[in-house]
Amino acid sequence: MQSKARTVAEYLLELPEDRRREVEAVRRVVRKNLGKGFQEGMQYGMIAWFVPHSRYPAGYHCDPKQPLPFVCLASQKNHLSLYMMCMYSEGDDARGFREAWARTGKKLDMGKSCIRFRKADDLALDLIGEVIRRHPVDVWIRYYEDSLKSSLATRQEQPVRSAPSGRKPKTKPKAKAGAKASARPRAKPKSSR
């Protein structure tokens, strides 16, 4: 559920009251622990805290027009999401984070960097604040660049797989019986004058 809001204030106003209350509680924790140099704004239809182009001109590698994201907060269809980009890798930081979370006794519903939750109370907010504090702008940029280099190196090391010899290349599957005909218009029949 991507918002078209252009400002954080607009985003918050379009949320139902119960969700707004939860998002604002998490937003306060992020803002309280965020180092200088990050900016708050909208990115990818979410509230985002990012490194502006003035500080990191290269921007985000997926879309260099976008500033480098650090943390994003969103109201999705069935849950709320907190994206902590510094937890994207499966390295020591991510393992330590998961272990520390387990010690809080709270359930962690997390993908690569996305923590899904319904209420701010579902989150280990002290731990989230600690992780954000441990990544001031310079540390986050260095972490991001190192992760990017590591990812590129891993991809270059993997051998290119070729199709086994004797196999035909894949083609589009044939339409099933009873399926709609293609969208291509049929030729008009010639008149019989």
Q: Give mean pLDDT, residues 178-184.
A: 46
Q: How many CB atoms lie within 10 A of CB 133?
A: 12
**Is the predicted pLDDT of residue 89 greater than 80, yes or no?**
no
Do residues 49 and 40 make contact, with C-beta atoms less than 8 angstroms apart? yes
Looking at per-residue pLDDT, the higher value among 186 and 96 belongs to 96
What average pLDDT is seen over the chain? 85
Sign of CA dihedral 87, 88, 89, 90: positive
Confidence band (pLDDT; 50, 70, 90) for 122?
very high
Q: Give the Cα separation of 59 and 53 in Å (integer).
A: 6
Q: Give the Cα separation of 126 and 2 in Å (integer).
A: 28
Looking at per-residue pLDDT, the higher value among 159 and 180 belongs to 159
Percent of the chain with pLDDT over 70: 78
Q: Which fold has domain 8-155?
A: Aspartate Aminotransferase, domain 1 (3.90.1150)
The reported pLDDT for the residue numbered 112 is 86
The reported pLDDT for the residue numbered 2 is 73
Q: Kindly report, residue by residue over 109-120, the tens digit of the pLDDT.
A: 998 889 999 999
Looking at per-residue pLDDT, the higher value among 158 and 134 belongs to 134
Q: How many CB atoms lie within 10 A of CB 111?
A: 11
Percent of the chain with pLDDT over 90: 64
The reported pLDDT for the residue numbered 164 is 54
**Is the predicted pLDDT of residue 54 greater than 90, yes or no?**
yes
How do the domains of the chain map onto residue ranges? 8-155
Least trusted range by pLDDT, from 11-15, 57-61, 84-88: 84-88
